[in-house]
């Protein structure tokens, strides 16, 4: 079964066809939306009489048609190379010193989709050859492949195999951020190839000084590499020495590890080549052990710091004020709140609302409820605050008035769609906010996901999952839930474990103190 094209692949097909043929006529399901998106980017314009016909704009022609032939400006117009489109399947990748980095490919995709392939790849062979070998441009080739393109722009060079590999190495040395092991591999291989092509440039020692063979008018390996890559000769000689004295397998093991640095490679040079792989494996194992020890020590320090901070906050909370019938003062470090919002009329035509089974409070009353020294929460605290989507702005005002700062949010998907003035509501949001030096969640504790789905029940009742998550994250802290009656909880609710207290309010008059 054929794979359906992605939206990006469809857009590329449409715009390239439009530019090449001067028009694009919708021919498949999904073309209309893709053409509309390209129209929004200023690349297509619709026929005024036929809605299925689209024409490329001047911007599209400028961006895409200019890719058909490209002259390399740095070579000058008289010797510039012409880039031509070539079938991707005719290009052999072959063995590479360096594999493609998927992160770089992903980074190139938006540019390819937006403006096309601006820089051609280089291949070994003539334009008419049935098959050619890739010389430079692996990431560009992989990007085009993954986007579903059939062709890419190519420069053709009549390289032999050694020239092709030299080109690949120089391309990497010039453009890539290489590690010490990468440079050693590339430079050592380049020296090997260069001396194979130009053996007359080999240097010999005479009278204690190295000198180039006078019979050769070719540059030495180091001079040639410096000229091709813009690097310092001494750096090249150092990297070549490393690469020659370290076996490839050992270098490949080192690449990308903590040991991938010049200091370790210089030590490795002194190890007999038949023992280098074992030496690297032992060093990597030691580094892994050190990293594990460091992680364990860091974890213990963080846990100890959290434990002390939690104990201090709990001690402060114990000193807080708790009087029956009154709002507590500075007595809880964790808050959970579902305020009694004043109901809005849900119909502009009738002005009706559904009414509430409990007394409501205005936004101003809610802002004043826990502001300043009236706060039931300690100076260092975290608050979980429920809001509907249409009340989000008011919720943030209340949170700020209570001295808290927004941190994140969990959305409750209620599965069944409700009513609404602008959209039909299906979600509510639990805002997470904190103040002061609250310790937060332990680094290695599993974090809750930002979306939770559970079918809603009666009005205002929230799934117990949210309270269970709060209890799991802060098991050692006492918690206060505002506007919740303890008596309304079902048997087995986590909030009945003795670590939760409750406070309700009727438009400013106590409904029942902390229980």
The ranges of the chain annotated as CATH 1.10.10.10 are: 7-64
E strands in 275-396: 332-337, 377-388
Q: Which CATH class is domain 7-64?
A: mainly alpha
For residue 480, the model assigns a pLDDT of 93
Strands (E), 50-101: 53-56, 84-87, 91-92
Distance CA 480, CA 502 (A): 6
Rounded Cα gap, residues 164 and 185, in angstroms: 17
What is the pLDDT at residue 465? 93
Residue 156: Cβ-neighbour burial (10 angstroms; 0-12, 13-18, 19+): buried
* pLDDT < 70 positions in the chain: 1-8, 62-81, 95-98, 158-161, 163-164, 167, 171, 174-176, 203-218, 228, 324-325, 344-358, 458-460, 505-515
Q: Where in the chain is the domain with CATH 3.90.1530.10?
A: 68-159
Rounded to whole angstroms, the Cα distance separating 405 from 434 reads 5
pTM above threshold 0.95: no
Domain spanning 325-512: CATH superfamily: Vaccinia Virus protein VP39 (3.40.50.150)
Do you know the residue count of the chain? 515
Q: What is the pLDDT of residue 62?
A: 67
Res 511: pLDDT: 42
What is the CATH class of 68-159? alpha beta
Residue 388: per-residue pLDDT: 92
Decide: 123 and 154 in contact? Cβ < 8 Å. Answer: yes
Q: At what angle do helices 180-197 and 221-229 cross, to 10 degrees?
A: 120
The pLDDT tens digits of the residues spanning 83-128 come to: 788 899 999 887 666 677 888 888 888 888 877 887 888 887 777 7
Q: For the packed helices 7-21 and 102-115, what is the interaxial angle rounded to 10 degrees?
A: 40
CATH code 3.40.50.150 region(s) in the chain: 325-512
Nearest to 45 by CA among 22, 12, 66: 22
Task: Give me 461's structure tokens.
Answer: 């009742």
């Amino acid at each position: 079964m054929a794979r359906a094209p992605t939206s990006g692949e469809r857009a590329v097909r449409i715009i390239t066809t439009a530019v090449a043929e001067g028009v694009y006529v919708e021919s498949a399901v999904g073309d209309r939306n893709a053409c509309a998106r390209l129209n929004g980017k200023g690349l297509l314009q619709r026929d005024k009489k036929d809605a299925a016909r689209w024409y490329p704009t001047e911007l599209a022609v400028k961006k895409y048609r200019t890719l058909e032939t490209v002259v390399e400006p740095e070579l000058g117009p008289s010797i510039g190379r012409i880039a031509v489109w070539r079938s991707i399947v005719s290009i052999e990748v072959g063995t590479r010193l360096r594999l493609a980095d998927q992160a770089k490919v992903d980074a190139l995709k938006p540019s390819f989709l937006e403006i096309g392939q601006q820089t051609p790849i280089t291949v070994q062979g003539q334009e008419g050859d049935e098959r050619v070998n890739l010389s430079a441009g692996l990431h560009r080739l992989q990007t085009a492949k993954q986007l579903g393109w059939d062709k890419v722009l190519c420069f053709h060079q009549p390289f032999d195999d050694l020239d092709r590999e030299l080109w690949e190495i120089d391309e990497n040395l010039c453009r890539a951020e290489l590690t010490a092991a990468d440079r050693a591999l590339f430079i050592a291989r380049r020296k090997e190839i260069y001396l194979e092509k130009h053996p007359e440039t080999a240097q010999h020692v005479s009278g204690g000084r190295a000198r180039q063979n006078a019979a050769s008018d070719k540059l030495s390996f180091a001079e040639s590499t410096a000229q091709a890559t813009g690097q310092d000769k001494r750096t090249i000689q150092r990297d070549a020495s490393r690469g020659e004295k370290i076996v490839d397998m050992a270098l490949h093991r080192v690449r990308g590890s903590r040991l991938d640095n010049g200091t370790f490679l210089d030590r490795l040079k002194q190890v007999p080549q038949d023992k280098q792989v074992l030496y690297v494996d032992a060093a990597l194992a030691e580094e892994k052990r050190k990293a594990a020890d460091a992680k364990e020590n860091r974890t213990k320090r963080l846990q100890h710091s959290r434990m002390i901070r939690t104990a201090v906050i709990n001690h402060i909370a114990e000193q807080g004020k708790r009087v029956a019938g009154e709002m507590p003062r500075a007595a809880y470090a964790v808050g959970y709140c579902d305020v009694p919002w004043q109901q809005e009329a849900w119909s502009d035509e009738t002005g009706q609302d559904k009414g509430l089974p409990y007394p409501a409070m205005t936004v101003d009353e809610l802002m004043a409820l826990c502001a300043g020294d009236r706060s039931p929460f300690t100076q260092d605290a975290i608050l979980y605050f429920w809001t509907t989507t249409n009340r989000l702005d008011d919720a943030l005002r209340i949170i700020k008035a209570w001295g808290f700062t927004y941190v994140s949010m969990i959305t409750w998907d209620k599965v069944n769609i409700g009513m609404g003035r602008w959209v039909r509501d299906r979600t509510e949001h639990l805002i997470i906010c904190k103040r002061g030096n609250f310790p937060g969640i332990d680094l290695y504790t599993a974090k809750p996901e930002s979306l939770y789905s559970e079918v809603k029940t009666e009005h205002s009742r929230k799934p117990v999952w949210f309270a269970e998550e709060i209890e799991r994250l802060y098991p050692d802290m006492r918690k206060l839930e505002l506007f919740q009656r303890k008596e309304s909880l079902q048997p087995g609710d986590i909030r009945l474990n003795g670590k939760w207290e409750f406070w309700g309010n009727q438009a400013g008059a106590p409904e029942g103190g902390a229980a």
